[in-house]
Every structure is written in C-alpha cells, then in structure tokens.
Amino acid sequence: MNRDIYLSNSLGGRKEKFKPINPKKVRMYVCGPTVYDDPHIGNARPLVVFDILFKILKCKFGNSSVVYVRNITDVDDKIIEGAKQKKILINKLTTDITKRFNEDCDYLNCEKPSFEPKATENIPLMIDMIKILIKKNNAYENNSHVYFDVSSFKDYGKLSNKNVDQLFAGARVEVSENKKRPEDFVLWKPSLKEEPGWDSPWGRGRPGWHIECSAMSKKYLGDTFDIHGGGRDLLFPHHENEIAQSRCANDNKSLSNFWIHNGFITVSNEKMSKSLGNIYKIKDFYKKYNGQVVRLALMSTHYKQAMDWSDDLLLQSQKTLDKWYEHQKKPEGKVLIPDEDLNPLYDDINTPGYISNIHKLYDKASKGSDKDKEIFTMACNFIGLLIEPKSKWLEFKKNILEISEEEILQKIKDRNKARDNKNYELADKIRNELLDKGVLIEDKDDKTTWKIK
C-alpha cells in the first residue's frame, strides 16, 4: 500500500507522518509488564494497541522488515514486596506471572514480538551503561547508590513538558539523603542479603527502575530507533528518565523518534486501582468470554482516549462477533483488503473507524458473493479477529452453557410436538424456559435450530 502512516507523537504533541530511519528495518520498543501480579485489563490495552501497530507496520514495510521488542521486567521492588506478601520465592513469582502474561497474550490473540528480553538476563549491559554515565559525569555514586544527575541533561522534561524547577519545588518526592537533588533518580541501589542482587563496581545490588529499558532497547534496536510505546502513565517519569539515560550514555540526539502512549482504562469513570478494588484481571474473562470479545472491546475506542470498561461494552462486542461469524469465510488464495477500508488504521491506528468499515464490508458480504465474504473475513483477520473457525467460536459458547445439548434437543422435540398439536401455550413455555438458560430457538422453514443468546 502506498499511503503513509500517521502517528500521534507525544514528543512534540502532534500527529506526524511516520518515516522510519531505515524502511528495511523498522524498529519498535514497547514497555512490557513488571511481573509482580496478574495482568489486568489495563495491561491488555497496550498489548492490543501495539499488536495492531505491529501489523500495520508489517503491512506497509513487509513482514521481515519490522522488529518489535517488548521487555519483561523481572527485577523490581514491587516484585520483592509481592513475593514477601505471598510468601513465595521471587523466582517463583516472576516465572508464574510471566507464564500468565503469555497466556493472556494468547487469549487476546496478540502476536509474539520479535524479542522479549528479560531484565535479569541483561544486568551486565545495565552496569556497563551506568559505568559510562558515571564516566561522563551524568551520574554519581554515593554510599553504594548510583544516581542520575538530572541537571547534567539539558533536555530533561522535553517529552512530558515539565519544568524541573517547578516540578520538584514542592518536594512531594521522597528525598533520599544520598541524592544531591530531589529530581535525581536511582540507577543502582544496594540489595539486602535476601534480596536479588548482582555484583557491581558499587557493591552487590540491583538496577533502578528505568535503566533496563535503556539497556535492552540499545541491545536490540541500537542507539536510536523509530517507535517507543507504552501507557500514558509511563510518559513521566519512566520515559523521560529513559531518554535522559540513553541519550547521555549514547551521546546522541534522539532515543526514539516517535513516542506513542495509550490512554487509560477506567471503571465507572475512575481509574482502576487496588485501593478501589476495581481491577479486572484478564484471566477473569477466560471463562465467560472468548478472547476475541475482549480484544474487540479494547479496539472500540481510539487508543489515545480513555475508555470506560463495562459489561455492556463486552456484550456489545460479543453480539457484533456473533453477527460477523455468520459470514466468515476463510480466504482461498490471495485476497486484498481495499486500501480505502484500510485507511483509518494508517491514520493514527484509528480502530473504531476501521471497525466501521468492517461493518460496511459485512453488509456487502451478507448480500454478496463468496469473494465479498472473503474480503470481509480478511479485514477482520487483519486486526486479529475471526481467525479461529466458527466451530471453535460456537464450541466456546456451548461450553459455558449450563444445559447439555441433549436436554436442549429433547426440549425442542417436546416443543415441536406441542406445536403440532397447536398447543402454543406449552410451546411458548418451553421456549421461555430455554431462553432463561440462554438458549434461543429459531423456527426456520420446517426446521428448528437453537443458538446461544
């Protein structure tokens, strides 16, 4: 496809034409999970958003020309805390949560990134980077801690539009005695005996909260790459600090040319938080909804917007997919999605606009030829929907039903007997009984079929 991709760049705050440094190697880094607790629906949003961006980039530049890196942060104070609370070993917690994270990715039908590096497997790189920062006077050691000296980096605050003087004037930040200034942030800190630690020039310790992304993005994507993504909340301080570290260590003008941030998921218009108890874990949806339902729900709002999560949203998505599955037809041979239908995705990943186009393609498919059905299905497949066969979709629904298929068929027999005898009262009663159990009966021609409501 010839048309250009446009993306909203947080750095600068406007929508820009996307131009990769090297079209034969488009590079994207997305901040992955810190594996300390089960992933929730808020974590799911960037997974799906950047999965779609990955697909768009591959469509534009070619499958083998896009490198997507998503890290796993498996060393962090929250992990230490979480393991303590659950009274399990740190290693057990991180492997368990990483496993669950991968299950969630499969459930949501997200493609595997090109690389999924773990922080703990790249500690030496972080130590090297910290060494460089100290050597260049961008960092200082004090009492086994190493801090980044924010005053040494002129562009600090440029990404998040923050003025350092104002930012820390009130000092709501905990000021450590070891820091020179409150805005400085930790690169390395000492570990207690029972805490995970690695030997370093500053003693046994562990890395700070931001350095892992700087080290791993450099390893896989180089000093400057094309896209860096993550949730809005990472904009400050995480991404600001990443930029400071990387640019000082690498001595260059840009870490990533594009910064993309997805909005939050709220519940009843409030941010999900543990204290409010309004967290929806992804695995909580496994039983009730096919992963595609959750995926479509996540795509129903533009990624930049906040989105309010509700049952109604899921039910609507379920209904839409039910309808769409009626005309699913696996493409045979090469089928192209018309450019004009693809347009919204190229314009800042406008998934709701694209979904609207799918509805139009559906209309055509429902009245048109097999080819139309194939185009429609292809359009769904592009954003990770309707890939699994209809039989599987129906099977999932059957499995969550509380009534067996035999019982249903028996009830239908009973009802049809009643109908033959013109005992419509009884027939309607049976139908309503089934409806209460979520089974909908349809009389078509001479045959009675059933489906899940």
Q: Which of residues 272-301 bind RNA (CB under 7 A)?
A: 272-273, 300-301
Identify which of residues 252 and 273 has a Cβ nearer to RNA in the complex: 273
Is 69 in contact with 117 (CB distance < 8 Å)?
A: yes
Is 386 in contact with 400 (CB distance < 8 Å)?
A: no
- Please report how close the Cβ of residue 352 comes to RNA at its closest, in angstroms: 3
Identify which of residues 219 and 359 has a Cβ nearer to RNA in the complex: 359
One-letter amino acid for residue 358 of the chain: I
Q: What is the 3-class SS of 282-300, one letter each residue?
A: HHHHCCCCCHHHHHHHHHC
Pairwise CA distance, residues 19 & 4, whole Å: 9
**Secondary structure class of 338 (helix, strand, coil):** coil
Identify which of residues 86 and 136 has a Cβ nearer to RNA in the complex: 86
Torsions phi, psi for 2 (to 5 deg): -85, -25
Q: Does 230 participate in binding RNA (rule CB under 7 A)?
A: yes
Residues numbered 304 to 363 that lie near RNA (CB under 7 A) are 304-308, 312-313, 316, 319-320, 323, 326, 344, 347-348, 350, 352-353, 355-356, 359-360, 363
Name residues whose C-beta falls within 8 Å of residue 222's C-beta, 6 or more positions apart in sequence.
27
Identify which of residues 172 and 334 has a Cβ nearer to RNA in the complex: 172
- Please report how close the Cβ of residue 43 comes to RNA at its closest, in angstroms: 4
Residues numbered 57 to 116 that lie near RNA (CB under 7 A) are 76, 78
Q: Does 192 participate in binding RNA (rule CB under 7 A)?
A: no
Identify which of residues 307 and 375 has a Cβ nearer to RNA in the complex: 307
Identify which of residues 84 and 135 has a Cβ nearer to RNA in the complex: 84
- Please report how close the Cβ of residue 194 comes to RNA at its closest, in angstroms: 20
Total of residues contacting RNA (CB under 7 A): 77
Residues numbered 359 to 388 that lie near RNA (CB under 7 A) are 359-360, 363, 366
Is 123 in contact with 198 (CB distance < 8 Å)?
A: yes
Catalogue the E-assigned strands of 218-292: 225-231, 256-262, 265-267, 270-271
Is 188 in contact with 177 (CB distance < 8 Å)?
A: no
Identify which of residues 30 and 67 has a Cβ nearer to RNA in the complex: 30
Q: Segment near RNA (CB under 7 A), from 31-39, 104-112, 115-123, 217-225? A: 31-39
What is the H or E stretch that residue 444 is in?
Answer: strand 439-444
Name residues whose C-beta falls within 8 Å of residue 119's C-beta, 6 or more positions apart in sequence.
71, 72, 73, 74, 75, 207, 212, 216
Among 46, 82, 205, 384, binds RNA (CB under 7 A): 46
Query: DSSP label at 235?
Result: I
Q: Does 247 participate in binding RNA (rule CB under 7 A)?
A: no
Identify which of residues 64 and 421 has a Cβ nearer to RNA in the complex: 421
Residues numbered 127 to 166 that lie near RNA (CB under 7 A) are 160-163, 166
- Please report how close the Cβ of residue 376 comes to RNA at its closest, in angstroms: 13
